[in-house]
Structure 1
Amino acid sequence: MPGTPPPPPAVAARVGVGSDAGIEPSKLQRLLPCALVQFAELGMPTLDTLRSMTTEAAEAVGLAAAARV
């Protein structure tokens, strides 16, 4: 349609989930999985949400070998 700007290009980004869960009594460790639910609610595919908490997070901190099963 004339005058309509084109859609933005698709962008790929590596996402690693992290949290400050467990650093004090009010930040319970069991809250970390809530981040995965939030990614899913935002439309991230299930497998990508799991990778973000495992492989991607491990690679981000130099522990890629530990994340491979």
Structure 2
Amino acid sequence: MHPPTHRSLASKISRQLSKNSLAATAARLRALSRQRSSAIRRWASTQGIPIAVRGRIANSVVSQYAAAHP
């Protein structure tokens, strides 16, 4: 077996850092998505629009929310 070279070690570290930052970015996007969904659900309920506590939010509700929050 050959000992790892500086270049191969640097490459492995770089790939791992990329994976970590992608995972962190994905986690942030999921959190923002959950926050936005929660805001839409609160808004819809105050507007008297029927909406489930969980699951997909109908596009029509999302569109109404977007129109009300330019």
TM-score range, shorter chain: under 0.3
Bigger helix fraction: 2
Taking structure 2 as the reference length, the TM-score comes to 0.25
Taking structure 1 as the reference length, the TM-score comes to 0.25
Task: For CA contacts below 8 A with separation 6 or more, give which structure has more relative contact order.
Answer: 1
